[in-house]
Structure 1
Amino acid sequence: MIDTHVHFWNFDPVRDNWINDDMQIIRKDFAPENLLDIYNDLNIKGCIAVQASQSEEENHFLLELAARHEIIKGIVGWVDLLNPDLDERLSHWQNHQLIKGWRHVLQAESRDFILNPAFIAGVKQLKKYNYTYDLLCYHNQLDAIIQMVDQIPDQPFVLDHCGKPDVKNQTLKEWTENIKTLANNPNVRCKVSGLLAEADWLNWKENELFKCFDVIFEAFGPERVMYGSDWPVVLISRPYQDWFNLVNNYTEKFTAAERKMIFSDNAKEFYGI
């Protein structure tokens, strides 16, 4: 099994100011060593390390970790997609085969940024180097995301955290329609990850999450969904195992082949591991 979404960091209160006072449990360092016992217990063989900081230094940090820890099977890094020298930067990072793709924290950006022709032109360059792109957005940005990806044919995308639906308030109608539309694009996959952060952290109910799972699996099908933990962010709500068990229990209704796609094969195919 592959966990397609984990973060590592040496906590810096200035750089990591998104980790606010309500998130005390993750205001500290997190390293691959902290996952080994959990992965051994659950028979998870590796992970995709996803950028948490928007700098090329982050790529070096994750590569250094991967050199010491074989559980890191791939990296989703950060590169400035508006850089006039983007082609040179992408060519440079081709020397590091563990970097499989890129991500920008679009959830912090405006609609104008997402639909900026220069940004879209940057994403279009990724295909030349066989890179993937992780889409990180809130549910109220999905209409812009749909317009963006429709302009970039043949680019492999994956939607992080199911597009961050409003699990807490269960305001899901518009999100559901946008997920259906986005899933009509065959180049978009989806990570079942990150939903506990969008729920009432301490008081969520299983059926609130399963309603979201229903939408995702109906729209994308098991052949385009992949498991991710969003560790350590998941810890603001529950231990790692609780999230894994939720996804595992929900997918019991699928065939063995479909479960293998969700927990392993789709990640290997998408990220080339």
Structure 2
Amino acid sequence: MPHMPIIDTHLHLIDQSVLSYPWLSGTEALNRNFLYEKYAVQAHRVGITHALHMEVDVAPTDIQAETDYIVGLAKRGDSIIAGAISACRPEEHGFRVFLERQQINPLVKGFRRVLHVMPDNLSEDPLFRENIQKLGGTGLTFDLCVLPRQIDKAIALVDLAPDVQFILDHCGVPDIKAGALDEWRGKISDIAKRPNVTAKISGVVAYADAETWRVETLAPYVNHVIESFGWDRLVWGSDWPVCTLGGGLATWVAATHALLSGCSQDEKTKLFSGNARRIWNLN
């Protein structure tokens, strides 16, 4: 089998000795450190050659500190960190100045404002929308982390910013454990009609029953995303350490390879690395 290098577009690192994560107090399974050294050992074993760090919803006062922390890790000679997706607050008036500051940092490849745990109408705020539109022409992406019921609102945001490249996280966060497929399927088909949206096949094992899921459990969801977006608008992500809730990094990588068993080498390369290289201008 040809070597298949993987770019992980969704890595979370947690270091509570440096940064504050208020939400972790309510998530016992993840309320501990998940450091780069532990991830790197596992990543090398499964063929991950590059990783984008995804913001971890740190305390607002730690947003810049989180980016600085990742910059420090990326400067290590053997680091596989190739970029950072920074947290942001588009609903605030200081976003313009914040954006200008981040554009100076070549490691920052995009932004995310967690939406799936926020009021559904946050993305409808006029200032939020105005600030997202400012990303047009910058080459910086915006990750959409939304629940299925919020996809309609995500579509409205996408339509208002056609020059912005959006990334839909985690296949749109389907409730795989409950077998919820029909409503999610229709909304995925709808958002996939927007050419400025790329889907991220990432960490869906965390949404399945940790004890009973099999590759066949995930297949209807992953296959529908692939069919809806096409091979040129897909990227792969681990969602480590959240994926440990459904088996871990190696398990998710193995499941992805199984899900793609009937696909061509060219298709697999686009998903695992090619599209990410193009979208985020990675070497």
Q: Are the counterparts in 2 of residues 90 and 129 from structure 1 also a CA contact under 8 Å?
A: no
Percent of matched pairs sharing the same residue: 28
- The residue number in structure 2 matching 1:179 is 188
Q: Are the counterparts in 1 of residues 21 and 56 from structure 2 also a CA contact under 8 Å?
A: no
- Confirm whether residue 59 of structure 1 aligns to residue 67 of structure 2: yes
Shift, 1:139, TM fit: 1.3
- Cα distance in 2 between the residues matched to 1:16 and 1:66: 25
Give ranges in structure 2 of 5+ residues lacking alignment. 1-5
- Confirm whether residue 45 of structure 1 aligns to residue 54 of structure 2: no
| Distance of aligned partners of 1:184 and 1:243 in 2 relative to their CA distance in 1, 3 Å threshold | same
Shift, 1:42, TM fit: 1.9
SS at match of 1:249: helix
Offset from partner CA, 1:180-223 (integer Å, 9 cap, x none): 00000011001111212211122223222111011101101121
Q: Are the counterparts in 1 of residues 91 and 127 from structure 2 also a CA contact under 8 Å?
A: yes
Counterpart selection for 2:21 from 15, 18, 42:
15
Give ranges in structure 1 of 5+ residues lacking alignment. none
- Confirm whether residue 31 of structure 1 aligns to residue 35 of structure 2: yes
Where do residues 1-273 of structure 1 align in structure 2 (5 Å cutoff)? 1-11=6-16, 15-18=21-24, 20=26, 22-23=28-29, 26-54=30-58, 55-68=63-76, 70-273=79-282
Q: Is the deviation greater in 88-97 or in 186-195? A: 88-97
SS at match of 2:199: strand
- How many pairs were matched up? 271
- Cα distance in 2 between the residues matched to 1:21 and 1:155: 32
- Cα distance in 2 between the residues matched to 1:60 and 1:10: 13
Q: Is the deviation greater in 3-12 or in 44-53? A: 3-12
- Cα distance in 1 between the residues matched to 2:113 and 2:44: 31
RMSD over equivalenced CA pairs, Å: 1.8
Shift, 1:31, TM fit: 1.8
Offset from partner CA, 1:85-106 (integer Å, 9 cap, x none): 3222211112210100000111
- Cα distance in 1 between the residues matched to 2:25 and 2:240: 13
- Cα distance in 1 between the residues matched to 2:97 and 2:123: 23
Q: TM-score, normalised to structure 1's length?
A: 0.93
Offset from partner CA, 1:120-140 (integer Å, 9 cap, x none): 111111124221111111111
Which 4+ runs in 1 deviate beyond 6 A? none
| Distance of aligned partners of 1:156 and 1:177 in 2 relative to their CA distance in 1, 3 Å threshold | same
SS at match of 1:185: coil
Matching residue's letter, 1:84: H
Matching residue's letter, 1:40: H
Matching residue's letter, 2:223: D
Shift, 1:174, TM fit: 0.8
Q: Is the deviation greater in 241-250 or in 108-117? A: 108-117
